[in-house]
Amino acid sequence: MKTRALLVLMLLVSSVTWSWGADDLKPSDVRIKDALRAVVDAQLNAFRRDDYAGAYVFSDTEFRHQCPLDRFERMVRIGYPAIAHSTSARCGLAFDNGDEATVNVRVFSDGREPVDYQYTLRRDGEIWRITGVTLLKDQTTEV
Amino acid sequence: MRSILAALAALSLTVASSLADEALQKFVYEKAEMGLPFRISLYAKDETTAKAAAEAAYDRIAVLNSILSDYDSDSELSRLSQTSGQGKAVPVSNDLWNVLVKAQEFAARSDGAFDITVGPLVNLWRRARRNHQLPSPEMIAEMKARVGYKNLKLDPEHRTAELLVPEMRLDCGAIAKNYAVDEAQKVLKQRGITCALIGGSGDMTATDAPPGLPGWRIEVAPLDAPGAPPAQIIYLKNYSIATSGDMFQRVEIDGKRYSHIVNPHTGIGLTDHGLVTVVAPDCMTANSLTTSISVLGPERGLKMVEATPGAAAHVERMPGDKVELYESARWKDVPKAEK
């Protein structure tokens, strides 16, 4: 009887979790948002110091397995010049589900228009690590 | 003599109008709502008027977010999704009703290519984008079983909505955002702001043209493919524009590129590389058409556009290694500018 009740409970929990858990990112609370911002800021600071090895450690472990440091440096310098040469950044909307998160970041650099990116992060124990960065750009712009 | 007087009267009207135009200043505001930045450019006689109007518009968007958000589990939309499969016909607010009716109209017209019940599949592909891992065929099949616009039943007499299948999840993301853009523009008009451009994540609606211009100058980014035509600049006046494509929202897995747009019939993110631009009298219509064209393909999609009053579309796609261009008949009438 106990086993049956437990099974029912487990099924119920898994159904509820799945129902809202397929992509259950919710707006992040201040604590999580601060933690995400700290990681993004720390990596941008490392880029500003030209410390690519230092920036690399904020990347997700799986990403580091796939992308060695020299490739990472080339990728940032060529593909993400605003990030490589930023002067400051402002974090905007952040969403998470406890394990995964996204945060929008506006990156400022001297003499250029600010550029918006969406960072994706994954929790690794107590810290968040960056799994990807996507350019956020509208396909239409008022000119 | 009468004609000279008429000419003078016309001249004085023109002068008055241009003097009035000169007195108008441009103000630009940006605020994050519905999980994305909403930008309002407007012309007003002073900052106080402009700011009050923009704040009222943002207030309206915030209210709509509380109704239509699929991120907020307390939103009216989410609460409706939570009743799926329970046999409940749920009374809905006017705003949610307006969105659902429009969505179902386009779902029927596009034979389900545009479908707001696609939520379970969209979530699956959002996760795929984050994890760079394709969803399994079993998972796609499981999610597909929860999708289908015919499983969303609307009762116009009682203004109720019912989700017939368990675990359905409505995703009004784009159409809700564009409804908010349309509604925000109405708020500005009510406050006497007749020259404004409101954009939510690139989809825009404009009222009167800025002083001295034939319309709001909007640059549509080119398709990021070799041989694609350059960016276009179009003039937008009392009209709306929406785009859809995989340029900025996609995932590449095992060398194949998947768009954020999911085909509700196959459950798979679109793999055609393309860019669809639609202008239409309102932003909700423009958006519904871009998605429909993306899923249906240009031939069937453009037929839908031709059958939609006032709508025009331009499609660039690269199914292989060559860029293909398609345009609806009315696209040639859309005012364009040299860059």
- The pLDDT of residue A136: 79
Q: What is the pLDDT along chain A (143 residues), one digit of tens a residue?
A: 444 443 333 333 333 322 333 357 888 999 999 999 999 999 999 999 999 999 999 999 988 988 899 989 988 888 788 899 999 999 988 989 999 999 989 999 887 778 888 899 999 998 999 998 887 777 788 88
> What are the structure tokens assigned to B132, written together?
């760079």
Partners of B330 in beta bridges: none
Contacts of A102 in chain B (CB under 8 A): 130
> What are the structure tokens assigned to B320, written together?
């292989």
Other C-beta atoms closer than 10 Å to the C-beta of B129 total 22
> What are the structure tokens assigned to B322, written together?
């060559």
Q: Do B248 and A139 touch (CB under 8 A)?
A: yes
Q: Do A93 and B126 touch (CB under 8 A)?
A: no
- The pLDDT of residue B268: 86
B36, B203, B219: residue with CB nearest A141: B219
B41, B123, B218: residue with CB nearest A23: B123
Identify the contact set of chain A against chain B, taking CB-CB distances under 8 A: 18-20, 22-23, 25-27, 92-93, 95, 100, 102, 104, 120, 131-132, 134-143
Give chain B's end-to-end CA distance (angstroms, integer).
Answer: 45
**What's the rounded Cα separation, in Å, for the pair B338 and A143?**
12
- The pLDDT of residue B23: 86
Domains of chain A from N-terminus onward: 24-136 (3.10.450.50)
Check if the beta carbon of residue B221 is closer than 8 Å to that of residue B276: no
A22, A120, A140: residue with CB nearest B120: A22
- The pLDDT of residue B250: 58
Extract the annotated binding site of B for Mg(2+). 174, 291
B130, B199, B248: residue with CB nearest A136: B248
Residue position matching structure tokens 């871009």: B290
**What's the rounded Cα separation, in Å, for the pair B63 and B51?**
18
Q: Do B130 and A132 touch (CB under 8 A)?
A: yes
Other C-beta atoms closer than 10 Å to the C-beta of B335 total 14
The complex's ipTM works out to 0.73
Question: Which residue out of B27, B131, B257, B339 would a mutagenesis test of the A interface target, given it has the greatest number of A Cβ atoms within 10 Å?
Answer: B131
Longest alpha-carbon distance in chain A: 71
Residue of chain A with shortest Cα separation from B216: A142
Q: What is the pLDDT along chain B (339 residues), one digit of tens a residue?
A: 344 334 334 333 333 344 455 589 999 998 878 877 899 999 999 999 999 999 999 999 999 999 998 878 889 999 999 999 999 999 999 999 999 999 999 999 999 999 999 999 988 888 887 777 888 999 999 999 999 999 999 999 999 999 999 999 998 888 999 999 999 999 999 999 999 999 988 899 999 999 999 999 999 988 877 778 888 999 999 999 999 876 555 566 776 777 778 899 999 888 778 889 999 999 999 999 999 999 999 999 999 999 999 999 999 988 877 889 999 999 999 999 876
Domains of chain B from N-terminus onward: 24-70+173-207 (3.10.520.10), 76-163 (1.10.3980.10), 213-339 (3.10.520.10)
Shortest distance between the Cα of B198 and any Cα of chain A, in A, equals 10
Q: How many whole angstroms from its chain centre is CA B181?
A: 8
A59 DSSP 8-state letter: B
- The pLDDT of residue B339: 60
- Mutual orientation of helices B173-190 and B94-109 as an angle, nearest 10°? 130
- The pLDDT of residue A16: 31
Extract the annotated binding site of B. 174, 291
Residue of chain A with shortest Cα separation from B135: A22
Contacts of A135 in chain B (CB under 8 A): 248
